[in-house]
Amino acid sequence: MKLFFLLSAFVLLLNSIVAAQKRKTYTINPGVKATEIIPNDELFLYPDFTPGTVYFKSGTYSPGLLNYNFLIAEMQFIDPKGDTLSLADEKTIGYITISRDTFYYDGGYLKFIRNCGKFKLAQRQFFVIVNTEKIGAMGIKTSSSSIVTYTRLPGNYKNNGLIAQQVLILARNDLYYFGDKFNHFKSLNKKNLIEAYPVKEKEIRDYFKENSLKKITEADMVKLMDSLYGR
């Protein structure tokens, strides 16, 4: 029960954080580009394209000006012509460094946070569709409010130049993952934590039963992983 009491010690603080947080949303109307509505500081991780290096699994590497695009969940670069392009053949990438940050690719780009025992803690950030509204007869909108989670927005949306074909409500999503020494990552959830720490199954189940937190911070994830590893 030591883990449960340790984690519960900051539950009140987390609840206050969750209550204070309200995810910013952006409404994209039909025929409008999302890039015209969402400001650059919300579209990209860095204010400007920043010197970085892509290290490939083959042992080669390529430097360039890089930035992570939250909207399409892709790592982009500036080519010699000055055009903005996305990295291709992502499965060939070992890791990427930009400034002091490190990124891995495992079905999506994950920003390394820190080592927690034998695991790496990482974060994946991307936009999700939290609501859609169709324009019906007489211009009346009909809403569908179930959250549709894509690690990337649907291909038809991207292929249309990020122009909405219906009213879309977008918001940025932050998810946490933990990875092994081979840089294979899993979502940081109850099921995966129990598989990784079977001897602490009871404590993990107790924690998730008592604390149904939907939004937690990076600091909380570090404390959670360190607690599981026994620091």
Residue range 168-187, pLDDT digits in tens: 889 998 899 999 999 999 99
The pLDDT score that the predictor gives to residue 225 is: 78
Report whether pLDDT(189) > 50. yes
13 pLDDT tier (thresholds 50, 70, 90)? very low
151, HSE (Cβ side, Cα atoms, 13 Å): 12
The pLDDT score that the predictor gives to residue 21 is: 45
Report whether pLDDT(195) > 60. yes
First to last CA, the chain: 15
CB 157 within 8 A of CB 147: no
- Identify the bridge partners of residue 98 per DSSP, sorted by sequence position: 52, 101
